[in-house]
């Protein structure tokens, strides 16, 4: 009885969740301050919002168990960049940050093969410029 309840209550984290957790630890070790995770608005979701010195950093995390079909960061195509730009604009507007601070988009690519305790991490700072009609960053 107790074991059934525990299994229902505690579910193992998905590969994507484990990747985001690892990315947060990675960023913290590099001196970033994490201010939001999985920030959702009607315009989209931002995996991690961090601050590095005086720059707001919107981080997209892509995690895969292998890179047979290409590097995880290749999944951040133009459509995804436009959705992230809109979501970032909404975040900055909600928090009265528009025009008050610098911002950029980073991508963290994680390849985490099954059975390994640590993944391969690649961090692309300033991975892309704001895309679409909603460009607000310089």
Tell me the β-bridge partners of 105.
Answer: 58, 128
pLDDT per residue over 8-41, tens digit each? 666 677 888 999 999 999 999 999 999 999 998 8
Overall fold of domain 14-128 = Trna Endonuclease; Chain: A, domain 1 (3.40.1350)
pLDDT top residue among 136 and 123: 123
- What angle is formed at CA 102 by the lines to CA 97 and CA 103, rounded to 5 degrees? 85
Q: Say which residue the tokens 């730009």 belong to.
A: 85
pLDDT exceeds 70 at position 2? no
* Domain parsing of the chain, residue ranges: 14-128
pLDDT exceeds 60 at position 136? no
pLDDT per residue over 46-71, tens digit each? 999 999 999 999 999 999 998 888 89
pLDDT top residue among 5 and 92: 92
Of the candidates 17, 10, 54, the one whose C-alpha atom is nearest the C-alpha of residue 33 is: 54
The set of long-range contacts for 99-104, using a CB threshold of 8 Å and a minimum separation of 24, is 101/54, 101/55, 101/56, 102/54, 102/55, 102/56, 102/137, 102/138, 103/55, 103/56, 103/57, 103/58, 103/136, 103/137, 104/55, 104/56, 104/57, 104/58, 104/137
């Amino acid at each position: 009885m107790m074991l059934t309840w525990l299994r229902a209550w505690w579910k193992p984290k998905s590969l994507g969740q484990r990747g985001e957790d690892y990315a947060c630890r990675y960023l913290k070790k590099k001196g970033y301050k994490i201010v939001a995770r999985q920030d959702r608005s009607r315009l989209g979701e931002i995996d991690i919002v961090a601050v590095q010195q005086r720059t707001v950093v919107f981080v997209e995390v892509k995690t895969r168990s292998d890179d047979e079909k290409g590097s995880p960061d290749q999944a951040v195509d133009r459509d995804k960049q436009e959705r992230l730009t809109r979501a970032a604009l909404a975040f900055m507007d909600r928090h009265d940050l528009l025009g008050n601070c610098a911002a950029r988009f980073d991508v963290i690519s994680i390849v985490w093969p099954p059975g390994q305790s640590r993944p391969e991490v690649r961090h692309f700072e300033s991975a892309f410029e704001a895309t679409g009609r909603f460009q607000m960053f310089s």
